[in-house]
Chains A and B, each alone.
Chain A
Amino acid sequence: MPRAKVQRKSTSIDMTAMCDVSFLLLTYFILSATAKQPDPLDVRLPTSTYKIKVPEKDIAILTIGKDKVYFEAAGQDIKVATLEKIGEQYKISFTPEEKKRFSVIGSFGVPIQSLKQFVMLDGDKRKKSGLETGIPTDSTNNQLADWILQSRKAVAELHSEGMRVSIKGDAEEGYPMVKKIVDILQKQKINKFSLITTAEGGSK
């Protein structure tokens, strides 16, 4: 009597489903990742050994480079609220479309007077327009201080949190310019702020 042969199962697994799942995940990650807004100023950050990550919410970022200052408040709702408050202060009314367009702009460096024009330009034309002369910081025309103050108010009203201010300075920027900005912050009693740096190895 011959022995019944045990059927050997093939060892290959059907990978189709696995492949589907993994590509689904991949596409999800790619789509959900928001593209980083290109900085209008290319700033080379200094390095440090600190390990604290920059928070994503309730923060304003001041970019300093080439003796110019750019401003950005994080969060679309905050941006719109800040714009409204600035508009009230400077007697400029912004249309809903302008507000919407402003809410997706990253950091900008235009005086209030040409902001309307700047907002209505398309993304790629903004850099070429030459409107970005940095936000005025003179003592007589201190728009940066107003931006900071109004965005702080906006954060306080909408999120009932204190806004943190971060400075993103170019490594080669002279200290006097940084001091000027810090003095503006200190005038508003902001004595604590963060300097944004990139990581470096632990010991040189």
Chain B
Amino acid sequence: MAELDTSGGGGKKGGKVRSKKSSTKVDLTAMVDLAFLLITFFMLTTTLNKPIAMDIAKPDKDEKNEQRLELRASQTMTILLGKNNKVAWYMGEAGKSAPEVQDFTQIRKSILENKQKVQAASGKSIVMVIKPTSGATYKNFVDIMDELAITGIKSAPAIDDENITDAEKAFMKSQNLL
């Protein structure tokens, strides 16, 4: 915005030529723009920097209460987390079907397929059992919980890091995952 020069020059008085005084007004528009830009930046960074929480609920561990709920084998999918960001999964009972070893990019497809299969066969929703072994990292655990959230598994998965069967251990060892 150009400012009109309104300092009339003063005419000619006494024949002296006066040097023109330039106006002392500074255009503050750019300054205001800058200030508001900074304000918005600060506001956004303060709100966006909040970390995100993932809620995990684990089954109650009661030493005295040895009640175990049996899961129906036909609608259970067990996922074992192993070393080197690999997972192994199988449907149904342990030891009856050979687990399939995959990595995290493929597991989503398997979960979705099994979810549909179980739904079509029994009309019930799939039950997930997650078994992190000692070879897994914390990241693997978070990733698999995230995959379940993405694939829309509504029922809470059973996170079972206590009862990894010998058959499972043997398989994981044979695949170099433990």
How many angstroms between the C-alpha atoms of A91 and B138 in the bound complex?
36
1/0 per residue, CB under 8 A from B, across A38-69: the answer is: 00000001111111111100000000100000
Q: Report whether A191 and B59 are in contact in the complex, using a CB–CB cutoff of 8 Å.
A: yes
Q: Is the CB of B36 within 8 A of A173?
A: no
Q: Is the CB of A22 within 8 A of B35?
A: yes
Interface size on B, as a range, is: 35 or more
- Of residues 20 through 68 on chain B, the ones whose CB sits less than 8 Å from some CB of chain A are 27-29, 31-32, 35-36, 38-39, 42-43, 46, 49-61
In the complex, chain B residues whose CB is within 8 Å of the CB of A89: none
Residue interface mask A19-30, B partner, CB < 8 A = 1: 100110110011
Interface SS of chain A: mixed
> Which residue of the partner chain B has the closest CB to A194?
B53
| Closest CB in chain B relative to A183 CB, distance in Å | 8
Interface string of A176-204 (1 = CB under 8 A from B): 11110011001101011111111100011
A136–chain B nearest beta-carbon distance, Å: 20
A-B Cβ contacts below 8 A, count: 153
Query: Is the CB–CB distance between A175 and B36 below 8 Å?
Result: no
Cβ of B138 and Cβ of A46 under 8 Å apart?
Answer: yes
A46 touching B139, Cβ below 8 Å: yes
Report if A169 contacts B (CB, 8 A): yes
Within 8 Å by CB of A51, from B52, B57, B58, lies B52
Given contacts A194-B54, A195-B53, A50 and B134 within 8 Å (CB-CB)? no
Does any Cβ of B come within 8 Å of A18's Cβ? yes
What's the nearest-Cβ distance from chain B to residue A185, in Å? 9
Binds A, one of B87-95, B109-117, B144-152, B165-173: B144-152
B157 proximity list for chain A (CB < 8 A): none
Q: Which of B107-160 contact A (CB under 8 A)?
A: 132-143, 145-146, 149-150
Which of A9-17, A80-88, A107-115, A154-162 makes up part of the contact surface? A9-17
11 A-B contact pairs sorted by A residue (CB < 8 Å)? A15-B32, A48-B52, A50-B52, A168-B51, A172-B139, A174-B134, A175-B137, A187-B61, A191-B59, A192-B58, A195-B145
User: Which 4 pairs from chain A and chain B are nearest by CB?
Assistant: A15-B28, A22-B35, A194-B53, A171-B139
